[in-house]
Amino acid sequence: MSIPNNPELDFALKTVEQASAIAQAVYAEMANSSLSKQDSSPVTVADFSIQAYIAQQLAESFPQDALVAEERSAMLREASAAASLKAVTEYVSKLLPAADANEVCRWIDLGGGEARGRFWTLDPIDGTKGFIRGDQYAVALALIEDGVVQLGVLGCPRLKLPEFEQMGILAFTQKGHGSWVKPLGTDVAPKKLSVSTHQKPEDSVILRSFETGHTNPRRIKKVRERLSIQPEAVLMDSLAKYVALAAGVGDVVLRIVPDANPKRREKIWDHAAGVLMTEEAGGRVTDMDGKTLDFSQGFKLEKNRGILATNGPLHDSFLGVIKEILND
């Protein structure tokens, strides 16, 4: 497999790299301000700034393509959010000099497109609390056509992989062309990603969310016990988990539906780029029932419960135990 060369991937690489720089700048310049998502905090400003920038660039580069993204401008338009809107406009105008408050809000709302046919999906800051803690987060962009993820790019400014000396990576994948990674902000040649070759469940490293509301720690504990897993689970925010899995740093990404919210369904922007990245690196991804993820059902994976992503050889062992536990 070779690194693909086409306008869509070039666009995604350029915009995600620039968006990652926005996120880093916002955090560095606003780190001493309040850190909740209801005010002019860094995470709020980074979220909206990145979505406005990428939405505008997408409308200019691929005007026929819809964008399905997480944020809407309604909050920014409130009088109480004037400081946030001002900060967002200032960051966006550094890249797009024509930006003003109204245009920024309009660009953000371009993210309300329909999830059908050919469209892009964006999570401008995936891993809100990771961003707040100065830990893992990701800028996640993917292209989906007729329910099939075609390419994905992840900017992970806080992730360090053994392949490179510096922290911060840009990971990308395209269907049929493998998964690749390079340091953010450099011209270093990309390296191909490959999942681990581990075959013994007891030796596997699980990558799971910090947020207990996103998964089911009680049932994950049962999975670990039944498979006699020795290594401690690695807690990691955001789609950075998928990059670590694709790079062979971990073996399993596990998202079991929470007890408190058994009808929870995952949002497509939280998984699209990472799912393809794992598969193109040699791994396997299904839901908890062993079904392929269906990205044709709108902005959520309505026909799938939870997520199981593995290096491949471990998949059936984990899937079998998960099914047993769910049926207990």
| Average pLDDT of the residues in 323-328 | 86
Q: How confident is the model at residue 41 (pLDDT cuts 50, 70, 90)?
A: low
pLDDT computed for residue 213 by the predictor:
63
The predicted pLDDT at position 5 comes to 82
Residue for token pair 């580069």: 61
133 token code pair: 């803690």
Give the separation between CA 194 and CA 279, rounded to whole angstroms.
Answer: 10
The active-site residue out of 47, 109, 251, 270 is 47
Name the nearest CA neighbour of 138 among 70, 89, 204. 70
**What is the number of alpha carbons within 13 Å of residue 148 lying toward its C-beta?**
7
Q: How many CB atoms lie within 10 A of CB 297?
A: 16
The CA distance from 29 to 80, in Å, is 21
pLDDT computed for residue 36 by the predictor: 46
Most confident stretch, 6-10, 212-216, 254-258:
6-10
5 vs 230, more confident: 230
Residue pair 128/26 in contact by the 8 Å Cβ criterion: no
Q: How many Cβ atoms from other residues are within 10 Å of residue 88's Cβ?
A: 30
Asked if residue 170 lies in contact with residue 13, where contact means CB atoms within 8 angstroms, the answer is: yes
**pLDDT band, very low/low/confident/very high, at 238 (cuts 50, 70, 90):** very high
- Containing H/E element for 252? strand 252-255
C-beta neighbour count of 102 within 10 angstroms: 12
Residues 6+ apart with CB under 8 A from 54: 15, 16, 19, 67, 69, 122, 124, 141
Which domains are delineated in the chain?
7-192 (3.30.540.10), 201-327 (3.40.190.80)
Residue 183: pLDDT over 60: yes
Over 80: is that where the pLDDT of 114 sits? yes
Q: What confidence score (pLDDT) does residue 32 get?
A: 52
Q: CA separation (Å) from 266 to 22, 213, 231, 242, 302? A: 26, 12, 27, 15, 8
What predicted TM-score, i.e. pTM, was given to this entire model?
0.95
At residue 81, does pLDDT exceed 70?
yes
Say whether 128 is catalytic. yes
**Burial category of 34 from C-beta neighbours within 10 Å (exposed 0-12, middle 13-18, buried 19 and up):** exposed
Catalytic pick from 15, 44, 89, 128? 128
Task: Name residue 235's beta-bridge partners.
Answer: 208
Residue linked to tokens 């550094």 = 94
Q: Give the gyration radius of the chain's Cα atoms.
A: 19
- How confident is the model at residue 132, as a pLDDT? 86
pLDDT band at 326 (very low <50, low <70, confident <90, very high): confident
**Residue 131 or residue 20, greater confidence:** 20
Per-residue pLDDT of 274-283, as tens digits, reads 999 999 999 9
Tell me the mean pLDDT in the region 113-141.
94
Q: At residue 293, does pLDDT exceed 60?
A: yes
Mean pLDDT to the nearest integer, 311-328 = 94
Cβ-contact 184, 157 below 8 angstroms: yes
Please list, in sequence order, all residues whose beta carbon lies within 8 angstroms of the beta carbon of residue 65, skipping any fewer than 6 positions away.
58, 118, 119, 120, 143
* Least confident window among 42-46, 137-141, 189-193: 42-46
Condensed to tens digits (0 to 9), the pLDDT of residues 91-106 reads 999 999 999 999 999 9
144 touches 121 (CB < 8 A): yes
Helix (H, G, I), strand (E, B) or coil at 228: coil
**What tens digit of pLDDT does each residue of 50-69 get?**
999 999 999 999 999 999 99
**Do the strands 138-145 and 118-126 form a parallel or antiparallel pair, or are they unpaired?**
antiparallel
Q: pLDDT digits over 189-203, tens only?
A: 999 999 999 999 999
Percentage of the residues of the chain whose pLDDT score is greater than 90:
80
In the annotation, is 10 catalytic? no
